[in-house]
Amino acid sequence: MWTRFAIVAVIAAAIVFPLFVTVNYFIHLAILAMIFMIVAQGANVIQGYTGYVSIAQGAFMGIGAYASALLSMRAGFPVWLSMLAAPIFTAVAAAIAGYPALRIKGHYFAIMTLAMNMVVFTVLVNWVSLTQGEPGLPSIPSPEAINLGFTEIAFEKRRAYYYLALAALVLVMWIVAAVVRSRVGRVLLAIRQNEPFAEAAGIACWKYKLFAFIFSASLAGFGGAIYAHYMGFINPTPFSADASLNAILAVILGGSGTLTGPLVGGALTVILPEALRVAEIYRLIAYGLLLILVVIFLPRGLVPAVVDGVRSISRRRKTP
Amino acid sequence: MLEVSDLRIGYGQVEVVHGVSFNVRKGECVALIGPNGAGKSTILKTVCGLMSPLGGSIMFGGRSTAGEPGHRIAGLGISMCPEGRQVFSEMTVMENLQLGAYTRRRSSIKDDLDEMMTLFPRLRERAGQDAGTLSGGEQEMVAIARALMARPKLCIFDEPSLGIAPRVVDEIEQTLLAIKARGVTILLVEQSVSMALRVADRGYVIEAGLIVLEGSSAELAGNKNVQNAYLGF
């Protein structure tokens, strides 16, 4: 009951946000934050729920971004269609990469995915005939305008795109919530807690791990597609391993294995570096320090810490 | 039902089980006993498919299962209750039991859940609690019940009394006898040799990766070497 109320309140707040905020720069940050929340939620599926840390979210975001951009520019797909095709494209790439990679465990899996990210990055830089390499792809089209009869929504406008990103985020949250609460979600949790035991219970763990990996990658691909058509220009830089590490960071900061954690973490990883600009050249030092403090004092992340705090306060009130 | 012959198993380059043969017949309870590091748990892991053997054969119900993945072996009807009270600690007792029945159709599970709650009344009280918050003995009961939920043809217990209060060990012994009375075939590895020989029909003594002695429980309990080494006479 309270959760449902909170969800409605947050969505309502997100809807009215652009009406009160007049500075375009804040809207821009909000859009980037929402895109990154989608990518982080993907990382959460494999890292938080399944217990396998993947350092390839950035690469999958890149595959989605380039797939969507190229489909709309070169193959003549409508932008809406190419944005929906991007996650499918990414899923296929993740299936090919994940099948061998998921045979190994723990740190080795993480290193393997890091290597994948580097390979994808190198391909994006060097396959010039397709990606135009380091200089990047300019003038990626915005999604086609929607005509409502009395008015037309043009997505070149920042505010319109804000609502597009918000709708995409709500859709992603809804799908992820459905998956983690299903039987499949239970099995993923079982794998995280004790994989050999889950295997001994008759669960074909590799199938579920592959599913989690593909699912998490396709969310990153979807985020990448929204990013590409928002920025109108992409080059390989934002899809390096740095982006993957940021996604991991977002999950840890917010609270891994919780639905809301990646939202908080994703927002922070986009907004904190900007907010810390006041510290000028000490910005990155301050950022690093903050992260270290969170990891030391709130190892489970912000959301579980806040939830526990609220719970213990309300309990104290009930039993004085 | 289970026929293991000349089984050799190793970790990396090091062979730790050097050609072990034993069998378990339908309806029987067989114990593997021996000191720490003899290779008992390694043998169990291999039978369950969590490790691959270097050589030898494992036949279950007339089918070779050596080197098959664990989930497939579980699907054939071998259920494992692993060493050290392994439960899904962040899931409730009920969810643990439901996952135990993973290989089965969902419709038939409810009766079995009831049955387990009757066998372990304490679990009924704790059904909605996270398994990680239970006491050691209760966690072991969750692990045993989880293994039985699969309705296994062969149920394997790896050190069910390890690290558990002596009073609860008696309870676990009673539970094993109750399970045996239901006609479940059991392969048991146990450090508490006196308990193992009270529960089992037959036993094998394993030392340093070899079977050094085998016989009925009564024979083993009467053997001078077994008495000296394990029963503390």
Please, what are the domains in chain B? 2-86+148-231 (3.40.50.300)
> Measured between CA atoms, how close is A202 to chain B, in angstroms?
4
Counted residue by residue, chain B has a size of 233
**pLDDT tens digits along B190-224:** 888 888 888 999 999 998 889 988 888 888 888 88
Q: Residue A62: its pLDDT value, please?
A: 96
Query: Does any CB of chain A come closer than 8 Å to the CB of residue B110?
Result: no
Give the span between the Cα atoms of A26 and B195, in whole angstroms.
70
The reply to whether residue A200 touches residue B100, judged by beta carbons under 8 angstroms, is no
* Domain ranges (residues) in chain A: 22-240
Instruction: List the single best residue of B45, B96, B99 to mutate versus A (max A Cβ within 10 A).
Output: B99
Angle of helix A79-101 relative to helix A106-126, nearest 10 degrees?
140
Weakly modelled stretches of chain A, pLDDT under 70:
318-320
The reply to whether residue A194 touches residue B86, judged by beta carbons under 8 angstroms, is yes
The reply to whether residue B88 touches residue A200, judged by beta carbons under 8 angstroms, is no
ipTM score here?
0.79
Count CB atoms within 10 A of the CB of residue A119: 13
Q: Residue B190: its pLDDT value, please?
A: 85
DSSP code at position A238: G
Q: Residue A161: its pLDDT value, please?
A: 92
> Measured between CA atoms, how close is B183 to chain A, in angstroms?
21
Query: Does any CB of chain B come closer than 8 Å to the CB of residue A189?
Result: yes
**pLDDT tens digits along B30-64:** 999 888 888 888 999 999 988 899 999 999 988 89
Q: What is the mean pLDDT of chain B?
A: 87
| Full-model pTM | 0.86
Angle of helix B136-149 relative to helix B166-181, nearest 10 degrees?
10
DSSP code at position B27: T
Q: Please give the backbone phi and psi of residue B162, each rounded to the nearest 5 degrees, phi first.
A: -65, 125
